[in-house]
Amino acid sequence: MSLSDRSRVNLSRALVVTGLILYIPSNMMPVMTMSLVGKVDPLTVMGGVLELYDSGLPLIAGVVFLASFVLPFAKLAALAWVLFLHGSPSLRRERSKVFKIVHMIGSWSMVDIFLLAVLAAVGQLGALASVRAEPGCIVFAIVLLCSLVAAEIYKPRLIWEDV
């Protein structure tokens, strides 16, 4: 079954709006719980960044901040801009470049969830340390999937067509 161009645009818009709405709770809910020698800390995305920074790892904290906090929002905002101007002849070249960048970095979106899964699997050291995924990681994964699927459904040729 093939989607019409109008359906592609509408579905992409719906996914971007869903991603933007869920972005807020995905950053407010704990994504993991770390237990280290009896100290249990539920961590949000920003809590994880602050924990890394406080542990003396500012470079890694910066990378996690960019990859987990800034990039998901920037991708959704960029897609929203491209979709908002859909059918307009203005800024077509710029929108095409932005869409290409969003599509290019899209394949790396799920690396956060992958790393959390690996950390939860190998970070089980009994009473000494453990890592457990929390419901916030599901909401965060949905936000990432919304941007991935929206970018995949919307075709760049649609930028160049008049409505």
User: Is residue 163, in this structure, part of any structural domain at all?
Assistant: no
pLDDT surpasses 70 at 68: yes
The three-state (H, E, C) secondary structure of 63-97, written as one string: HHHHHHHHHHHHHHHHHHHHHHCCCCCCCHHHHHH
Question: For residue 38, what are the contacts with CB-CB under 8 A and spacing of at least 6?
Answer: 127
CB 106 within 8 A of CB 151: yes
Q: Could you tell me the pLDDT band of residue 127, with boundaries at 50, 70 and 90?
A: low
- Residue 121's domain comprises 5-155
Mean pLDDT of 82-111: 88
Q: Could you tell me the pLDDT band of residue 126, with boundaries at 50, 70 and 90?
A: low
Helix (H/G/I), strand (E/B), else coil: 43: strand
**Per-residue model confidence (pLDDT) at position 8:** 92
Q: How far is CA 54 from the centre of its chain?
A: 24
Tell me the per-residue pLDDT of 99-115, one tens digit each, with 9 for 90 and over: 999 988 887 777 777 77
CB 99 within 8 A of CB 155: no
Q: Could you tell me the pLDDT band of residue 122, with boundaries at 50, 70 and 90?
A: confident
**Per-residue model confidence (pLDDT) at position 1:** 47
User: What's the pTM?
Assistant: 0.86
**Mean pLDDT score across all residues of the chain:** 87
Report how many domains make up the chain. 1
The rounded percent of the chain whose pLDDT value lies above 70 is 94
The rounded percent of the chain whose pLDDT value lies above 90 is 44
User: Is residue 161, in this structure, part of any structural domain at all?
Assistant: no
How crowded is the C-beta side of 18, counted as CA atoms within 13 Å? Answer: 18
More confident residue, 18 or 107: 18
Beta strands in 8-148 (DSSP E): 32-36, 39-43, 129-133
CB 80 within 8 A of CB 95: no
Measured at the CA of 32, the angle between CA 127 and CA 77, to 5 degrees, comes to 165
More confident residue, 60 or 1: 60
**Per-residue model confidence (pLDDT) at position 131:** 80
**Per-residue model confidence (pLDDT) at position 29:** 94
